[in-house]
Amino acid sequence: MRPGSALRVLGVDPGLTRCGIGVVDVERDRRATLVGVTVVGTTAHEPLDARLLAIAEAVEAWLDRFEPEVVAVERVFSQMNVSTVMGVAQASGIVIAAAAKRGIPVALHTPSEVKAAVTGSGRADKAAVTRMVMKILRLESAPRPADAADALALALAHAWRGSAPGSPSAAGRTTAMTATALTPAQRLWQEAEAKSRRGR
């Protein structure tokens, strides 16, 4: 059971071959706790519809099981090759649709945004990101494969970049979430942000 003040974020590192899914609880003081992490794998030998179905079923199961306040997904970026872009976009669409069906807001973050939020450098390599994820979540071993650590990094980055519900950067974003629709955890985040701004 999550602490009453914690924001639960489900992060997804989308991909057809390996789709990382990670859930963290983040307190108002930024202390983060691992809730769960997994990687959904499919092979290129499987039909596309079967691969997408496997990802959809896994994501929906995790959304229903862990009931996150928000979902953070890696944004497709132009440096990828065409086949990779298509796979990431297809997997991302599955995740976004599953969250939308449940009324859960979705945030998109680029890899450089995630690296900067977690390590302090937008050019950090995967090893550096994994080390910081381990340190932040107080893990004794690294989540494997790397897609698992990336999913957790996405969730942490969302909470830490000031894009959590109720924060200044989220205030101007158009979403289906209104003040009256906020969950108790989201309202606590909003109140904490307001107190922080008043204390500056």
Q: Would you call 13 a catalytic residue per the annotation?
A: yes
Q: Would you call 74 a catalytic residue per the annotation?
A: yes
Q: Which helix (H) or strand (E) holds 18?
A: strand 18-26
Q: Who's near 65: CB < 8 A, 6+ residues apart?
A: none
Q: Rounded to 5 degrees, what are φ and ψ at 117?
A: -70, -40
Q: Who's near 8: CB < 8 A, 6+ residues apart?
A: 2, 23, 24, 25, 26, 35, 66, 67, 68, 69, 185
In whole angstroms, give the CA distance from residue 96 to residue 91: 9
In whole angstroms, give the CA distance from residue 145 to residue 78: 24
In whole angstroms, give the CA distance from residue 109 to residue 174: 16
Catalytic residue chosen out of the listed positions 25, 147, 150, 193: 147
Catalytic residue chosen out of the listed positions 25, 69, 74, 113: 74
In whole angstroms, give the CA distance from residue 5 to residue 25: 9
Catalytic residue chosen out of the listed positions 13, 113, 150, 193: 13
In whole angstroms, give the CA distance from residue 69 to residue 7: 7
Q: Would you call 147 a catalytic residue per the annotation?
A: yes
In whole angstroms, give the CA distance from residue 106 to residue 95: 9
Question: Which residues are annotated as catalytic?
Answer: 13, 74, 147
